[in-house]
Structure 1
């Protein structure tokens, strides 16, 4: 690798000691100097190549602290039919995708669709009876956009042998059932999604390419580091193959699901720790707002929106939405904490956050970890109270938050799903930042499209997709928002010594922007500023080369199974 000096209109470093610069000196994969052009040339010598990136602003590559990149690809790329609301906005649009798939595939080919949202599609989640009317005797499964629900027809129930022998509910998940105990074609939470989807994986065409396409989509949005927060070791061959492909655009950190038999085991990867590493253990203390399974102390409202989504305020939410008992969590932590893993709990509602805090605090005390740099995490924290956020900060917990929930669903959360008091402050970024905790932002792809600039725009303005302001008091400053998507996101992944800021000694991972984001209207940040490209380890990413360099499905090594989660 040659020595390079990169210049741009401005270099925004996210380093408080030198927030702006003119150039960056790169030797091999590392940054060796940041400063003026002459300073960077002097650091490398006269033979260094000076490259004008053409970018108005060069920043550290964006960091996605909570995502599902391989599964995101498998569940959104062909032959899976994407029906997410930003692709198919209405139920009629969804039906059109269904009909196109029926017309263009053979009668024995299973059909899988992803992205249904009862609230935004304004249609109740389908049961088997409705899917049977659409698909007849075709095997069909429809994944909820939340990642916490799946819907399937009678043909699938019969093919799996579940008509005469309905399976029991697995730990952490449940099937919908008719009064006689038979399956009604609905299932909820990760273990059930895996049970329905895993047998269909062999029918997917080239899952490795599907995963690569999602990595490419993340790269186009400016990400250079990401995480997989639902990792199963079955996916290891896929990640190894992607990391070994020329111009692979992202570094990946893996949190193994606590539902596996190996979640406390260590692992190594041929790609090396800088490119691919197992980082921690993940579980889900509750579900998702959009299917009525966020564990909240405050009720869901009885409105046209919730009725349309088949969310019953009498049964939705509450403690019944918790996926684990305290004893369950203690048992998992008693295995993972002594092994040194960084824990991560998905917790949307305030009851789920409280359960996570209680379990975390007790385990931190049991294993003498209070006051240490453990960086245990809580994901989403949508309905958390200020007192809970203060408690999280006092325990040294890191908070990874979901601006897309405000952006896409904020107008429903505030007054349609929950009352104004709770719905308007959903995703309380302002309160979280005020506690002093390390706060990061994520897209949770494929739950929302990769767009760190939209995340930043949303937490700075609290504007929904329709332009309405919800919970203005929870807005945070622009600089803090960029930190939450760069250096603080890197801290959340324990990668701040490698990525997240432009400083000497760190990996040369950059994103090129078309404008200085600190000079534009924050309310139009995502529309005004474009990502021009990314760099990884001192190499400009070539997505065409990456996709062309993938192993083909006929090669013996590169076609791994998906794993038992979707």
Structure 2
């Protein structure tokens, strides 16, 4: 029999409706033995009291159901985003508040490179913050016209390159790939939208960026989880699982000391050619399910339909974009999407589908309904991830079909002002990321960061879902605000449910893994606006404590 350790706390919030709060938890091995008062738990055979968390607030470890392990990799490139960010090592990176600051930071990074052939890579930029001030080849040539320069936009769906890159890859007025942006003279501007166009220059970022990882990136990604209280993360869109070396990278990295659980989704469609046929990929994923461990899960699938709203590449139903901009880009043809979804559904796999625009959500729901009619499957938990423009009628349909919604509440802060003023207008913006509507209609939800698109941080997601504040201080759709309790449930048991892990994680209950977030304050005892600033002391994974690398400093611009 393993010893039973009773950990007392200032407060335990369990997310278990039968016993929502407690004084202490009892842990036996890597599982919760019981929850209750100290007096109750000390009656268990062999119980020993440990008061290390006596001044802390314990919550279930947060579950991030849409993140990217490449978040640990992007920091090898220069950060040039608008908002301040903190890297996994705890270093604070000030945002660039103007195009001039962006170019200055790039010039400083370029000056540190000695080999003229070394690619200067950067990430985090978004042109929507600087209307009328593009970052294309003309601007990047001011840094260097010859050294290859590749800037990944923060949404992950667009990049900017300099003229040297355009020449190297022969991208010119004759290039017909959709997403190669051209000026009034038909000449490429250096902006490449979505994966077909970005793929023309993808060799520049081999081993870097959102969809590339190595052992060090996984380690840094996991530390981000510890720093933010997340004990279960996702790599929602891996290109490595069809290859044995890729699988071995995950298996060798995620060892007994690895401080998070990781659920790895195969990127099945939406980023260009895939390595195997759909039947072969489905068989491979079924085989990989058998190689999963308590910390590492295989066998789920991500499909991507459209682009991003702030990049004007999401697919919107009428009335479309505020300024009458052309509709966005399908990253996979609708008929190819249906074929892929059908194959993975019939194989019994869980499928999460990227849908930013409501036209993408509509295609997703029509596909789900058609395929479920032909191939019924109880408790499938297929998920509309992002679900930003999903309408009330679509949420009713989701509820009828048993579909989940992983809602991108962080967008309200990061781009809310731009959505109100530039992308869709104040009326449609008030309906975006409609978490309250989804919950009222019975749709299971979670909240996510899509890190590195926005910073990993479930407590910040709670803040954004409960306040719906933009950077300028406007409330974007006050009637879609969640209560703090609802939002906390969304980032714990809600995320666990849509990963089919709610029997193991997501709440503090006897028999589940002993995974917890160790907080300095109670999220229900501070103002909603302050929840995102609560200091995370660390996490407990399977009963083992892991410490943060972040000092308790409030970031005015971090969101």
**Shared topology, TM-score over 0.5?**
yes
Taking the aligned partners of 1:108 and 1:29, their CA distance within structure 2 comes to 50
**Normalised TM-score (structure 1):** 0.86
Number of the residue aligned with 1:521: 527
Provide, for residues 25-84 of structure 1, a one-character-per-residue CA deviation record: whole Å limited to 9, x for no partner.
1111111111111322222414x3523314431010111010102x11222x12x00112
- From the superposition, tell whether residues 217 and 88 of structure 1 become closer, same or farther in structure 2 (CA, over 3 Å): farther
Using a 3 Å threshold, how does the CA distance of structure 1 residues 341 and 165 change in structure 2: closer, same or farther? farther
Structure 1 position 66 matched with structure 2 position 63: no
Q: Which has the higher contact order (CA 8 A, sep 6+)?
A: 1
Kept in 2: contact 1:91–1:122 (CA 8 A): no
Asked if residue 30 in structure 1 is aligned to residue 31 in structure 2, the reply is yes
State the secondary structure of the residue aligned to 1:21: strand
SS of 2:353 mapped into structure 1 = strand
Number of corresponding residues: 519
d(CA) in 2 for partners of 1:62 and 1:368?
32
Contact 2:382 2:403 in 1 (8 A): yes
1:440 aligns with 2:446: yes
Name the SS for the 2:155 alignment partner.
coil
- Residue 208 of structure 1: CA displacement? 3.1
Distance 1:54 1:122, change over 3 A: farther
Corresponding residue for 1:8? 9
Q: 1:507 deviation in Å?
A: 0.4
- Residue 9 of structure 1 deviates from its aligned partner by 0.4
| Partner residue in 1 for 2:124 | 115
**Cα drift, residue 164 of structure 1:** 8.3
Residue 543 of structure 1, CA deviation: 6.1
Q: Give the one of 262, 285, 291 matched to 1:252.
A: 262
> Tell me, what secondary structure is at the counterpart of 1:14?
coil
TM-score, normalised via structure 2 length: 0.87
CA–CA separation in structure 2 for the residues paired with 1:143 and 1:298 = 30
Q: Which residue of structure 2 lines up, in the alignment, with residue 283 of structure 1?
A: 303
Please state whether the residue corresponding to 1:416 is helix, strand or coil.
Answer: helix
Please say if residues 258 and 282 of structure 1, whose CA atoms lie closer than 8 Å, have aligned partners that are also in contact: yes
Structure 2 match to 1:83:
80
Deviation at 1:287, TM superposition (A): 0.5
The DSSP-based 3-state class of the residue aligned with 1:487 is helix
1:32 touches 1:43 (CA, 8 Å); kept in 2?
A: no
The change in CA–CA distance for 1:377 and 1:324 in structure 2 (over 3 A counts) is same
- The aligned residue for residue 300 of structure 1 is 321
Cα distance change of structure 1 residues 517 and 271 upon mapping to structure 2, 3 Å threshold: farther
Unaligned runs of 5+ in 1: 303-312, 545-566
What's the RMSD between the two structures over aligned residues?
Answer: 2.6
| Equivalent residue number for residue 200 of structure 1 | 205
Aligned partners of 2:423, 2:175: CA distance in 1, in Å? Answer: 32
Distance in 2, Cα, partners of 1:5 & 1:37: 7
Q: Could you report, residue by residue, the CA deviation over 1:454-500 in whole angstroms, capped at 9, with x for unpaired residues? A: 11111112222333211101111221111000001110111111110
After TM superposition, the structure 1 stretch with the greater mean CA deviation from structure 2, 479-488 or 422-431, is: 422-431
User: What is the distance in 2 between the residues matched to 1:163 and 1:286?
Assistant: 24
Taking a change above 3 Å as real, the CA distance of residues 243 and 12 of structure 1, as seen in their structure-2 partners, is same
Three-state SS of the structure 1 residue aligned to 2:27 is strand
What secondary structure does 2:418 align onto? helix
The whole-number CA distance in structure 2 between the counterparts of 1:123 and 1:258 is 36
Q: Please report how far the alpha carbon of residue 538 of structure 1 lies from its aligned counterpart in structure 2 after TM superposition.
A: 0.6
The separation in 1 between residues aligned to 2:395 and 2:402, in whole angstroms, is 11
Alpha-carbon displacement from aligned partner over 1:288-338 (angstroms, at most 9, x marks no partner): 011111111223233xxxxxxxxxx342x2xx5333343222211232112
SS of 1:470's equivalent in the other structure is coil
Residue 530 of structure 2 aligns to a residue whose secondary structure is helix
Per the alignment, residue 225 of structure 1 pairs with: 232
